[in-house]
Amino acid sequence: MKAMASSAHARHALTPDALLMIDTIAREGSFAAAARELGKVPSALTYSVRQLEEALDVLLFDRSSRQAQLTAAGSELLHEGRRLLQEMDAVANRVKRVASGWEAELAISVEDILSMPVVFELVQSFCAVRSGRRGADGELAPDAGAEGGPATRLRLRTDVLVGTWEALVTGQVDLAIGVSGEHANPGGIELRPLGDVSFVFCVAPHHPLATADEPLTDAVLVHHRAIAVADTAQRLAPLTVNLLPGQDVLTVPHMRGKLEAQLRGLGCGFVPETMARAHIEAGHLVLKRTARAASVGRLFYAWRAERGALGLGRALAWWVDQLESAKTRKALIEQHAGRLS
């Protein structure tokens, strides 16, 4: 009976708030910083942690460290706690859409190098479905009645490199457009090919490398500043691409910033050919051949596949259906200035 009572006590202590508290402390690296984020005083947070440790009969943090250093038991609780919080969110979302099949919210991450004008064309079409307006074929949008369609809220974000995949596997988004296929699939993720993106090396006409002999070797490039786009991954290991040891680097938040920096002669680097094409044709960028072969990135779109009676939510199913179109996939990669048609 004592063991059962102890087990029940531990179970009651493992609330979503307690799991969120451990996650916040681990992420912020200190009790003080975590307390500020959670809106508590540090002493109250420390007391809550001690109560949880007593309920579980384990030490979650190493008290000999000045930082909030997790013990092995604490690391296991953090790992399982994050998974449980994601599952709770997933259950809540599934329950919300049982009645209509439409999600209350759909979150989408778009890789930074894809065409945002085309993404917003898709958003416009999705909003037309929701409002019940007639499409180009004159047919009333499915599932939209006189009172208007389901009010699924869209939440868009852009991510870079590993950050796009991380947003999906950590449950921050339901659909990721433009992920690499090199990541380990934790299960429950459906992956479909989006297309290939070719990268070219270019510099401004007034950059010193514009008149340098080709092919440009690493021994030459290392003396010139590279422009890099920061990976948005925070939990998974971020990726750095085509940077040389000892090379000066200017890091920018997105590919548009990288293009702007290179147009101004602030540095050099590889950029998607489809984004640089108009600038190269206008003479604002000079294409240069390098000893290091230009890369081709193979991209995919992926979503969190829910199994069972509910299947996919209608909003997610609509987006997946659009991405099955070869024309849409090609436009996302190539049409940075414009429209699907």
CATH 3.40.190.290 residue spans of the chain: 103-341
175, 177, 179, 183 alpha-carbon torsion, rounded to 10°:
20
**In the structure encoding, which two tokens stand for residue 244, read together?**
């040389």
Q: Is 59 exposed, middle or buried (0-12, 13-18, 19+ CB in 10 A)?
A: middle
Contact status, residue 170 vs residue 120, Cβ threshold 8 Å:
no
CA separation for the pair 108, 167 (Å, rounded): 9
- Location of structure tokens 């000045």: 66
CA separation for the pair 166, 160 (Å, rounded): 10
User: What average pLDDT does the structure give for the chain?
Assistant: 85
Instruction: Provide the residue type at 217 as one letter.
Output: T
Q: Tens digit of pLDDT per residue, the chain (341 long)?
A: 344 445 666 778 888 898 899 999 988 888 889 899 999 998 998 899 999 988 888 999 887 777 788 899 999 998 888 888 888 877 776 566 555 678 888 999 999 999 999 999 999 999 888 655 544 444 434 444 333 445 688 999 999 999 999 999 988 999 999 999 888 888 889 999 999 999 999 999 999 999 999 999 999 999 999 999 999 988 788 788 888 999 999 999 999 999 999 999 999 999 999 999 999 999 999 999 999 887 888 999 999 876 444 567 889 999 999 999 999 999 999 987 544 54
CA separation for the pair 3, 146 (Å, rounded): 59
The predicted model scores a pTM of 0.67
Strands (DSSP E) along the chain, which ranges?
A: 105-111, 153-159, 175-180, 189-203, 226-229, 249-252, 269-272, 286-288, 296-304
CA angle in degrees (0–180, nearest 5) for 121-125-130: 145
3-state helix, strand, coil in the chain (%, to 5): 40, 20, 40
CATH 1.10.10.10 residue spans of the chain: 2-96
The residues, any chain, with a CB within 8 Å of residue 94's CB and separated by 6 or more, are 306, 310
Proportion of the chain above pLDDT 90, given as a percent? 52
Strands (DSSP E) along 38-125, which ranges?
A: 105-111
Give the distance, in angstroms, between the CA of residue 164 and the centroid of all CA atoms in the same chain. Answer: 3
The count of other CB atoms within 10 Å of the CB of residue 220 is 16
CA–CA distances in Å: residue 66 to residues 29, 30, 69: 10, 8, 8
Architecture of the CATH domain 103-341: 3-Layer(aba) Sandwich (3.40)
Give the domain 2-96 fold: Arc Repressor Mutant, subunit A (1.10.10)
Q: Is 243 exposed, middle or buried (0-12, 13-18, 19+ CB in 10 A)?
A: middle
Give the distance, in angstroms, between the CA of residue 312 and the centroid of all CA atoms in the same chain. Answer: 20
CA separation for the pair 234, 41 (Å, rounded): 26
Q: Is 276 exposed, middle or buried (0-12, 13-18, 19+ CB in 10 A)?
A: buried
Phi, psi of 187 (to 5 degrees): 105, 145
The count of other CB atoms within 10 Å of the CB of residue 332 is 29
CA separation for the pair 300, 341 (Å, rounded): 22
Contact status, residue 194 vs residue 299, Cβ threshold 8 Å:
yes
Would you state the pLDDT for residue 1?
Answer: 38
